[in-house]
Amino acid sequence: MKIALIGYGNMGKEIEDVIKTDGKHEVVSISSSTKGWDEAGIKSADVVIDFSSPDVIMENIQKVLGLGKNMVIGTSGWYEKIGKVDGLVKETGTGLIYGQNFAIGTNIFFQLVALASKLAFKYGQYDVYGTEVHHSGKKDSPSGTAFKTAEVILNNFPSKKKLETGRLDRKIEAEELHFASVRGGRNPGMHEVTFDSEADCIKLSVQNHSRRGYAQGAIMAAEYIIGKKGLFAFDNMFEI
């Protein structure tokens, strides 16, 4: 499989390294703000993987789908525009898969949070909240994974109806789900969900040790999207 990379920062370099080490696929093109936009290389690729920036992701999606190429999107911070992206995918007859977190362990975590939310709501007097920690270089907050985790809780814990991610200068409402972000250091990503009751406290957390798992998952998504049409979410591949 010939792969074009858009974004050549932490993740672009990690994906290139996994591809070189595995020897199964080939990187035929790299675009970034310093390297420029390699349209000829993108045209020659079977699939495009984008780990760039929330500032440019919509423009990149329009340009790549406009060239009729299927895409894997790892870049976060654009999910409120999912309807527009779905329209572009249909218009161009292409395939696009996105993931807030491509690490296998995090996708297992999403399934565990869904199950725990259902059980905690059904059997206990639990409250639920979330926290996430990322390295100091991360540009957006909360993380895409935090949004996804919150969505999983809201879909499975019926008394929580609204996500609150900001600083609170008041008491939280019972129907609000608080998900807080911390930035600093070098952590590639930690997410934790706490179910707390008078009797006990259950914590589910996932700590990504490195960016390797994200890169491996993105390549798995690229293999999946080849030859497909439509919009796909990576976490759907893990539903049981």
Active-site positions?
134, 138
Binding flag, residue 129, ligand NAP (CB under 6 A):
no
**Segment lying near ligand NAP (by CB under 6 A), choices 73-81, 116-124, 148-156, 164-172:** 73-81
β-pairing, 201-207 with 47-50? unpaired
The nearer residue to ligand NAP, 51 or 147, going by C-beta atoms, is 51
Provide, rounded to whole angstroms, the least separation between the CB of residue 170 and ligand NAP.
30
**Segment lying near ligand NAP (by CB under 6 A), choices 81-89, 94-102, 161-169, 196-204:** 94-102
Provide, rounded to whole angstroms, the least separation between the CB of residue 152 and ligand NAP.
16
Terminal Cα distance for the chain, rounded: 29
CA dihedral 55, 59, 65, 69 (to 10 degrees): -60
Which one of 11, 72, 150, 206 is in contact with ligand NAP (CB under 6 A)?
11
Helix (H, G, I), strand (E, B) or coil at 51: coil
Which one of 2, 22, 24, 33 is in contact with ligand NAP (CB under 6 A)?
33
The nearer residue to ligand NAP, 122 or 139, going by C-beta atoms, is 139
CA 154 to chain centre: 17
Buried b (16+ CB within 10 A) or exposed e, 26-41: ebbbbbbeeeeebeeb
Binding flag, residue 216, ligand NAP (CB under 6 A):
no
DSSP 171: P
Which one of 29, 53, 92, 156 is in contact with ligand NAP (CB under 6 A)?
53
What is each CA distance from 188 to 133, 164, 165, 234, in whole angstroms?
8, 23, 20, 19
* Residues of the shown chain interacting with ligand NAP in the complex, contacts defined by CB under 6 A: 6-12, 31-34, 51-54, 56, 74-77, 99-102, 214
